[in-house]
Structure 1
Amino acid sequence: MKLIVDNSRPETDPVENLVMELLGLAYAVQRLGVLFQQDMQARPALVTADRREQVLDAAQAVEARIMEAERRPGVHEHPEMRSVWYLFNQGAQDVGLPPF
């Protein structure tokens, strides 16, 4: 009997890795939106114009990253991109961006 142990790492799919990164960013925007709305309701005095601007800038930076990544071959067609845009839209609308 002969046993062959292959300790090499499996090939990674760069498109899959990128989409998973985008999914994490979209989830972060969704959480940011939820927390921002909670602050607006529970502590409106603490939500300053500067803080609102920071939240909007963060969401817009993620949107730019997603749109840039979608230009790469295979990313736009990936099935998880629907989830990326869904999560991003939820958070973006909560922080005051228009629906995408």
Structure 2
Amino acid sequence: MVALLGILFGAVLGTRYKVFILIPTAMLGLAAIAVHGIVAQGSLGVTLQTMLGLILGLQIGYVFGLAVRATTAAARLRVAPAETVQSRPLRIASRPPVGRRT
């Protein structure tokens, strides 16, 4: 269950943020699992397996989110209308040379 939630949460993070968001997210999740393991007096093995499931779920979900982001970005580029390209040259405003006051 924790791994599935990690995959979903990782996918959301993958569509929005860079990879460094996984570090604080994983630390917060690991802390929450550790507190739950202590309060519920669960065995160390089960707690560590749950932590591993969360970490793997976040990473798998993040990669899936990156794939979704890349796919949607490519689809937006293909659909962009040709009228968005400027047909006239850019005008560059002339400035007085540096050091001279006008």
Which interval holds the TM-score relative to the shorter structure? 0.3 to 0.5
TM-score (ref. length: structure 1): 0.37
TM-score, with structure 2 as normaliser: 0.36
Higher alpha-carbon Rg:
2
